[in-house]
Structure 1
Amino acid sequence: MTIHEMSIDLETYSDVDIKKSGVYKYAESDSFEILLFGVSIDGAPVVVYDLACGDTLPEDIINALVDDTVIKWAFNAVFERVCLSYWLKRNYPEKFKSYGPEYDTTGNYLNPVSWRCTMIWSAYMGLPLSLEGVGAVLGLKEQKMKEGKDLIRYFCVPCKPTKANGGRTRNLPCHAPNKWAIFKSYNERDVVTEMGIKEKLHKFPVPDFIWDEYHLDQQINDRGILVDMQLVKNAIAFDERSKSDISSQMKDMTDLENPNSVVQMKAWLSDQGLETDTLGKKAVAELIKEAPDDLAQVLSLRQQLAKSSVKKYQAMENAACHDTRARGMFQFYGANRTGRWAGRLIQLQNLPQNHMDDLAEARELVRQGDYESLEMLYDDIPDTLSQLIRTAFIAKPGYKFYVADFAAIEARVIAAIANETWRQEAFAKGLDIYCASASKMFNCPVEKHGINGHLRQKGKIAELALGYGGSVGALKAMGALDMGLAEEELQPLVDAWRLSNPNIVSLWWDVDTAVKNAIKMHSSTETHGIKFTWRSGMLFTTLPSGRKLTYIKPRIGENKFGGESVTYEGIGSTKKWERLESYGPKFVENIVQAISRDLLMNAMKNLPGALICGHVHDELLIECKEEVSLDDVCKAMAHNPEWFPDILLRADGYITSFYKKD
């Protein structure tokens, strides 16, 4: 039988916690097995193969799994692809085929090129990232069965031994035949639901170039990043020892049973004449400035005790596979309003920064397990460990990390779209945008560490806070008052920035008008090279790259000020599907961040064959042989795409044995 396309859903067992460790480590466990294999071939009714009870897959299905001309569909397809990779290697090693050259670390996995993911399709359409959520929003006739979570808990993870279950650590089909029968129906239903998504969305196909991007993303996730496990294990041990020492010191100073307790500490501080409603990071920092020396020392110790840096090291330990590479850290289309990636597991996007001059020396002390020297040389061990987190990612032997990032990417994108010429001239001359902005705002020359250098900080915070319609509140949220700006300076700063950037301000409201007109007239509008189209109850924003952003069920509503606003349905801050409000500057923010994302993807495509291990918004992390030219990497990264020829890109980079912020 010739197979062209399959829709697949698996139910599996492993002793590894997939939420903590990810699918790669989950599937490589010796205990991993596939229990149920649900499949529809070329749209035919779903067949469930009960592998746990002795069924075997037909040879034509096995052959189709390793045939890159057969398209495989699944919801969150990386799970099925990685699980089947390990399963095939163990059960059909003669059939298994991988991809990538020998010097790459993608050899354990099936080629993603023939895989398609309905979760990515859903995300591309602005829908939720869960099968249950998508089914509910689309109103599918056959939705995910609610019994599934309990059944997965029963059959797919180890159970606690009890007298009632005879001391077993795993539930098998024979232990609950009725539940097993329902589980098979659940597996079948998931395939039907996944196919229902395809049917509902068939008029809005994902462009081929997006699937190409998804396959590149999967390759990066398959490759992973090497983790220095010696550093990680010692850092975890150091953190425990440091916390114990700090806790003992605080007990001696306060006589508290648990000095880490917020209630106990607030009461103790109150007894010492220091009242506070909160012990949050900012509040404690302010208290330290005012408190007497002895209380300031206790508060400083509490800040050290509260540092959660060790959690990142534990996440690394949890995620690292047998070859000590952490995989699966990037969720393609994780932010579906822009199409940017979201972090998973270790969360590369929010690692603490490093500011230590002697980073390598401190790192080596931790690697060697020399706690005494670290304690002698560094006052704050939790902070030192925090700054060393990035350095736990290392290049493989014979290679170095080439870290390259775009300079001021969002500022360059919004300048190009709005045609704010003074900004483009500043970028063309290689000027510091914060100095250039301050110079424009205050009508005087501003140089970093030079003439009027004190104004650069105002230029910087204005640039960071005001580009998308932000006002005084945005400046405060960005920490303007903490930086020493006075309350009365804030509104004039907003006015000066907007006066200096009239084309960007016009862009906000031109986009606002274009979006509203498209919704009101159920038509297409265009401004600044961005097209807005209402179709089938959705608003599509077409970017210069050809990629579309989707807003579900847009309407014209009324905002809290009584003015006109746009609302649409999406995932809100509560992680629930709800009606959200937006307006011109917010749409511009989505557009700018989306284009910035497309430029990063273009940079990845400009580096074919490069061993890209990771990325963060505007930065690429690449494993390279040292004979590779860093300058060539940066030039390739900053090469303009044909869809945005006038953007003034610049990429800078550095070479290092371990990851860090240069």
Structure 2
Amino acid sequence: MKLWLDTETYSPTPLRNGTHIYAEAAEIMLVQYAVDDDEVQVWDRTAGEPMPLDLDEAIDDADEYWWQNGNMFDFTALRHAAPELLARMPLEKWRDTMLQAYAHSLPGKLDLLCQIFKLPMDQAKDKRGGQLIQRFCKPQRDGSRATRLTHPTEWAEFIEYGKSDIRAMRAVHKKMPKWNYPNNRSELALSHLDVKINQRGMQMDVDLARAAVRAIDVAQKDLARRTVDLTDGEVTKATQRDKLLQHLLAEYDIDLPDLKKSTLERRMNDPDLPDSLRELLAIRLEATMTSSSKYKTLLRGVSHDGRLRGLMQFLGANRTGRVAHRLYQPGNMPRPNVGLILQELGIKKLGDGDMQRYVEMGIDALKNDAADLVFENVMGLTSNVVRGSIISPEDKKLVVSDLSNIEGRVAAFLAGEQWKLDAFREYDAGTGPDLYKLAYSKSFGVSVEDVDKEKRQLGKVQELALAYEGGVGAFVTFTMTYRMELDDVRAAVFKVLDTIDGDIVRESRGMWDWVTKKRRTLGLEQDVFVACEILKRGWRSAHPQIASFWGELKDGAIQAICSPSTTVRVRTIIMRRDGEWLRVQMPSGRQLCYIAPQVDDSGGISYMGVNQYTRKWQRVKTYGGKIFENLCQAVARDVLFENMPRVEAAGYEIVLSIHDELLTEAPARSEYSDAHLSELISTVPEWAQGIPLSAGGFEATRYRKD
């Protein structure tokens, strides 16, 4: 028996601050419910009536409780506002239509799902429902509260509106697939573990956050004052992009294409730059370096016990099944600015303990409101120490571990690139070379011993940019990420041109002729383009199994799309089109889903999905390399997530996952260690036999970038 449920709640705390801080003061006003396909009923708790008998019995008799966003919202609301009711509802019975949607690459919002499946929906009623929520679920503008007593007519409307969500939930549930959720029992169990992790939350250094906000406020005012002085009042804040660009052009005859960090840093390296201009550009860099939004979000959302909760949306990352981060967004915390740290410490190279010394000194200065007396760049300091706002509770420690190069290992495993699998094993055993050095060595046909630091960096960018059918454009993007100058790339390649396969060089020069005719040079000079093309072709030549897999995946997808109900095997991957769904099954048994797939006359593949740039539901193009990327990221996720129950069972309490890294809290005893945690998360699943896994981490009282 399915019991369909929804709640309408009131809280004086804005929901945007976070579900958990919202729920601390929340009241559950209405409970909408229905058993299977029966009529929807409403329990109006504001009327003081006891729970209806049919709901009382259904809670005990139901096999499944179905909610829309229940795992994130309603579970939390019940925990705070109706704990006696939650105690009767075992977590293993909870189901969520939002997770069902995410599991099959659909958007989670109920109204959009109704549109996609062409379910009847009264748009006017939906708009009216939004107005009623504004009326009853939050304080009014004058601070008063609207209730069933103050607005009885609208309250009756509100009750009827609440019933519509239950009807919509039931309808979309029937339309959506159930392969990955709820029928996949492993994924269902992981969704319940995710609830526990979100309810647990992580301990935060609230004092640090408050101190950082104060310091940022003082620093921003100082930077604004200096900006006004340097520009004679033409620019009042360095964050005013257009005004600053206009000032630079008018005052210094400098026409910058943008104010990106890389652009400013290159310009500041000019020894002939006037001191006033150098200072102005430095102010711009510092003013845009702040992590104030993270600190403020933390302070708004943290619970009264100092823990921040509700940070992980299970299955929230489009298609791959990874979590999406909510609220504090721990997945996009800035990397420490090593150059700034070296400058502040007055050293040329980071040694053991230098990073930790900087962080501890910085946090101490911030908490004592003395950061501006100790550090030149306060904004940069707050950005560099933001990870340290995650701390261990008393009598516990943070134990952190990260799967090493998991996507690279999965790529070699799925494609059957045997030499690379062997290379990973040898590296893990301490008998083989660094994989980035090996990538360069294989591409250029040189000895690994001859690969210096500069060449290793090229190998690293090759590995990160080219595994998913990336070309020159992808390579150039990654050079910017890793602060590599394209002229240096050109010089490095042309310096060893005589060691490179002649065919690769000729084909790369020929590619320049082709892109010139097609006007696809990406604005690059000829030698720079050719150098990047050589690196691309060299990597592909060294990875024949991966490079050929891209085309096979595309051909397999086309065959499956054009031959419904026919199973197509592409090495270890199984593809099949059932109705409007292209299903791509991974070794774990979980399936990537592509809705309404099409093949155009030129052989291009597209499907309906959420555009990652516009965030709109529209037709999205894909290709063999992109399907391979989806597979690698999804399989990497499956490896980590399969081991999460093992981690919990060993006594490590997971508080967060970031990509391929787990943050846990454990008793501050020697038997709990990063080595043990690393062993747990690198356990090879039964379905992935043959993949070499390795992990490494650290123990600390503050989180950091290891």
Q: Return the TM-score normalized by structure 2.
A: 0.85
1:608 positional shift: 3.1
Alignment equivalent of 2:66, drawn from 73, 76, 81: 73
Q: Counterpart in 2 of 1:659?
A: 703
Q: Counterpart in 1 of 2:603?
A: 564
Q: Are the aligned partners of 1:123 and 1:129 in contact in 2 as well (CA < 8 Å)?
A: yes
**1:78-97 equivalent positions in 2, closer than 5 A:** 78=71, 79-89=73-83, 92=84, 97=87
Q: Is 1:218 the equivalent of 2:258?
A: no
Q: Distance in 1 between matches of 2:374 and 2:364?
A: 15
**AA matched with 2:610:** I
Matched position secondary structure for 1:608:
helix
Q: Are the aligned partners of 2:365 and 2:374 in contact in 1 as well (CA < 8 Å)?
A: no
Q: Counterpart in 1 of 2:434?
A: 432
1:143 positional shift: 6.6
**1:2-21 equivalent positions in 2, closer than 5 A:** 4-19=1-16, 21=17
**1:397-416 equivalent positions in 2, closer than 5 A:** 397-416=394-413
Matched position secondary structure for 1:401:
strand
CA gap 1:451/1:121 in 2 versus in 1, 3 angstroms: closer
Q: Distance in 1 between matches of 2:451 and 2:686?
A: 40
Matched position secondary structure for 1:519:
helix
Alignment equivalent of 1:532, drawn from 571, 575, 579: 575
> Percent same amino acid at aligned positions?
30
1:577 positional shift: 1.0
Q: Distance in 2 between matches of 1:203 and 1:286?
A: 53
Q: Counterpart in 2 of 1:253?
A: 230
**AA matched with 1:71:** E
**AA matched with 2:609:** G
Please say which of residues 396-405 and 135-144 is displaced more in the overlay: 135-144
Q: Are the aligned partners of 1:142 and 1:192 in contact in 2 as well (CA < 8 Å)?
A: no
Q: Are the aligned partners of 2:648 and 2:654 in contact in 1 as well (CA < 8 Å)?
A: no
Q: Are the aligned partners of 1:230 and 1:367 in contact in 2 as well (CA < 8 Å)?
A: no
Q: Distance in 2 between matches of 1:446 and 1:376?
A: 48
Q: Which has the higher helix share?
A: 2
**1:363-512 equivalent positions in 2, closer than 5 A:** 363=360, 365-367=362-364, 369=366, 373-430=370-427, 431-446=433-448, 451-479=451-479, 482=485, 484-486=488-490, 487=528, 488-512=530-554
Please say which of residues 580-589 and 363-372 is displaced more in the overlay: 363-372
Q: Counterpart in 1 of 2:677?
A: 633
Q: Counterpart in 1 of 2:158?
A: 183
Q: Counterpart in 1 of 2:47?
A: 53
CA gap 1:363/1:235 in 2 versus in 1, 3 angstroms: farther
Mark the runs of 5 or more structure 1 residues left unpaired by the alignment. 99-109, 162-167
Q: Counterpart in 2 of 1:153?
A: 134
Q: Distance in 2 between matches of 1:600 and 1:282?
A: 34
- Give the RMSD, CA atoms, in angstroms: 2.2
Q: Are the aligned partners of 1:239 and 1:382 in contact in 2 as well (CA < 8 Å)?
A: yes
1:457 positional shift: 1.2
How many residue pairs are counted as aligned between the two chains?
A: 628
Q: Distance in 2 between matches of 1:493 and 1:60?
A: 68
**1:224-243 equivalent positions in 2, closer than 5 A:** 224-243=201-220
1:570 positional shift: 0.9
1:352 positional shift: 1.1
Q: Are the aligned partners of 2:75 and 2:86 in contact in 1 as well (CA < 8 Å)?
A: no
Alignment equivalent of 1:283, drawn from 252, 258, 263: 263
**AA matched with 1:130:** K
1:436 positional shift: 1.0
Deviations 1:564-596 (CA, angstroms, capped at 9, x unpaired): 111111111311111111111111110111001
Q: Distance in 1 between matches of 2:312 and 2:396?
A: 22
**AA matched with 2:255:** E
Q: Distance in 1 between matches of 2:653 and 2:624?
A: 39
Q: Counterpart in 2 of 1:164?
A: none
Q: Are the aligned partners of 2:223 and 2:237 in contact in 1 as well (CA < 8 Å)?
A: no
Q: Distance in 1 between matches of 2:205 and 2:178?
A: 47
Please say which of residues 256-265 and 637-646 is displaced more in the overlay: 256-265
Q: Return the TM-score normalized by structure 1.
A: 0.90
Mark the runs of 5 or more structure 2 residues left unpaired by the alignment. 342-353, 428-432, 491-527
CA gap 1:143/1:638 in 2 versus in 1, 3 angstroms: farther
Please say which of residues 359-368 and 192-201 is displaced more in the overlay: 359-368
**AA matched with 1:54:** G
Q: Are the aligned partners of 2:362 and 2:381 in contact in 1 as well (CA < 8 Å)?
A: no
Q: Distance in 1 between matches of 2:453 and 2:552?
A: 35
1:338 positional shift: 1.0
Matched position secondary structure for 1:147:
helix
Q: Distance in 1 between matches of 2:309 and 2:460?
A: 36
1:156 positional shift: 1.0
Deviations 1:325-365 (CA, angstroms, capped at 9, x unpaired): 11111111112311111110011111112345344554455
Q: Distance in 2 between matches of 1:615 and 1:650?
A: 17
Q: Distance in 2 between matches of 1:62 and 1:177?
A: 27
Q: Counterpart in 2 of 1:338?
A: 320
**AA matched with 1:287:** R
Matched position secondary structure for 2:149:
helix
Q: Are the aligned partners of 1:81 and 1:112 in contact in 2 as well (CA < 8 Å)?
A: no
Q: Is 1:37 the equivalent of 2:39?
A: no
Q: Distance in 2 between matches of 1:97 and 1:512?
A: 50
**AA matched with 2:463:** E
1:478 positional shift: 1.3
Matched position secondary structure for 1:340:
coil
